[in-house]
Amino acid sequence: MIQSTIHYGLHFGLPLFIALLFYRKNWLRAYGIMLLAFLIDLDHLLAHPIFDSNRCSINFHPLHSYYAIIVYVLLLLPKPSRLIALGLVAHIISDVADCCLM
């Protein structure tokens, strides 16, 4: 229960914190764009079973691989991709925290 609360709290709370801190004027738009990072969880559909509460997503699913994470970090550099990259990196941070709690 605590693990899932922390995991989903980070999934929704970390992008909200970033949006309110750095994009105060347009925080709702920034938050919405960062939440689009949930789309990387579509790679869970490739796994069998699709959901396993005892499986660490990091380096198991293709969009959660170390190579993908490097791309997400590099996407922080150009301004046009920064918001989605922030969402992706925040998503990975929450998944790493989940793995650490297993």
Cβ contacts of 14 within 8 Å, gap of 6 or more:
90, 93, 94
* pLDDT on residue 1: 84
Over the chain, what is the mean pLDDT? 95
Q: Dmax over Cα atoms in the chain, in whole Å? A: 43
Q: DSSP assignment of 39-55, as one string?
A: GGGGGGGGSSSS--TT-
Give 21-60 pLDDT, tens digit per residue. Answer: 999 999 999 999 999 999 999 999 999 999 888 899 999 9
Ordered by start, the domain boundaries in the chain are: 2-101
pTM: 0.93
pLDDT grade for 95, boundaries at 50, 70 and 90? very high
